[in-house]
């Protein structure tokens, strides 16, 4: 499994971390496909479908560059997907991915919005870094996308709320909801409500891990904070998620697959 360095899962989600490119690998994309030059994004002239296509193409470029980096850095021999013309270096790929994701997100693409929320400040190895203006814009757009995701009952934002960050500088940690010391607990309890009627033996390991009883004896939260977290989870579930299908698998925040 590809991993995202410097982040760890919230309690109850064992053995999960997240890849530096913020994209869950789409193994289907490793099959030979027809490629085209990396799109140039212009929000004033492109339709939502075109913006979505540019967003997905930029992800495929990032997948290619991530595999190249892994092969070079760790002596791996992972097969590369078909080369995308113009996808020649990590710094350029990161800039294109940022611009394509941002443009599609602003146009209302909810998959792009979730990937935008996963944005980091930059990449030390390639020298890529967002500008101060782009970082400031994230604080405004990110808050809007989080609010919209909760209102549509999108489980992916709950998964993101539960991320336990160790030393990765994800921009989402500065959003208001992530400053709550009880956010991991709240997210876990809300996800648990979403999987309440599912038999983990019929699905995957994530649901089984999610439903494992957790000791609260060593919790850093007070009894009142735990009670308040339980109340928040139930109220949020009843308000936004009760009409959503029960969770059958882990809700990946940013993937190369369109949300169903």
Model pLDDT for residues 192-209, shown as the tens digit of each residue: 999 966 565 666 678 878
- pLDDT-above-70 percentage for the chain: 76
Number of domains in the chain: 1
Q: Partners of 164 in the beta sheet? A: 8
Give domain status of residue 43, yes or no: yes
- Stretch among 139-148, 149-158, 207-216, 235-244 having the lowest mean pLDDT: 207-216
Task: State pTM to two decimals.
Answer: 0.80
Give domain status of residue 162, yes or no: no
Give domain status of residue 40, yes or no: yes
- pLDDT > 50? residue 178: yes
Classify residue 213 by burial, with Cβ atoms within 10 Å: 0-12, 13-18, 19+.
exposed
Structural domain containing residue 122: 7-151
With b meaning 16 or more CB within 10 Å and e meaning fewer, what string describes 172-181?
Answer: beebebbeee
- pLDDT > 60? residue 42: no
Taking the C-alpha atoms of residue 156 and residue 252, their distance in angstroms, rounded to an integer, is 6
Give domain status of residue 59, yes or no: yes
Give domain status of residue 70, yes or no: yes
The two most distant CA atoms of the chain are separated, in Å, by: 57
Residues 6 or more apart whose Cβ sits within 8 Å of residue 174:
139
What is the overall mean pLDDT for the chain?
82
pLDDT of residue 46: 78
Q: How confident is the model at residue 45 (pLDDT cuts 50, 70, 90)?
A: low
What is the per-residue pLDDT across 112-151, written as a single tens digit (0 to 9) for each?
999 999 999 999 999 999 999 999 999 999 999 999 999 9
Taking the C-alpha atoms of residue 59 and residue 88, their distance in angstroms, rounded to an integer, is 14
Cβ(117)–Cβ(142) under 8 Å?
A: yes
pLDDT of residue 255: 92
């Amino acid at each position: 499994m590809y991993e995202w360095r410097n982040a760890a899962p919230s309690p109850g989600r064992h053995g999960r971390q997240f890849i530096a490119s913020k994209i869950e690998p789409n193994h289907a994309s490793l099959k030979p496909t027809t490629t085209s030059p990396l799109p140039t994004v212009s929000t004033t002239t492109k339709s939502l479908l075109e913006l979505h296509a540019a967003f997905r193409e930029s992800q495929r470029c990032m997948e290619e560059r991530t595999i190249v980096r892994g092969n070079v850095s760790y002596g791996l021999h992972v097969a590369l997907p078909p080369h995308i013309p113009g996808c020649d270096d990590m710094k350029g790929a990161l800039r294109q991915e940022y611009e394509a994701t941002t443009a599609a997100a602003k146009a209302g693409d909810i998959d792009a919005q979730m990937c935008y929320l996963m944005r980091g400040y930059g990449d030390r190895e390639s020298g890529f870094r967002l500008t101060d203006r782009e970082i400031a814009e994230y604080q405004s757009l990110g808050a809007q996308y989080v609010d919209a995701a909760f209102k549509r009952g999108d489980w992916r934002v709950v998964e993101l709320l539960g991320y336990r960050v160790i030393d990765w500088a994800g921009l989402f940690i500065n959003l208001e909801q992530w400053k709550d010391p009880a956010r991991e607990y709240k997210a876990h309890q809300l996800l648990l409500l979403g999987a309440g009627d599912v038999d983990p033996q019929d699905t995957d390991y994530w649901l089984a891990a999610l439903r494992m009883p957790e000791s609260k004896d060593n919790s850093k939260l007070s009894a009142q904070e735990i009670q308040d977290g339980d109340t928040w989870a139930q109220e949020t579930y009843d308000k936004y998620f009760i009409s959503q299908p029960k969770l059958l698998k882990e809700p990946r925040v940013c993937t190369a697959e369109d949300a169903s």
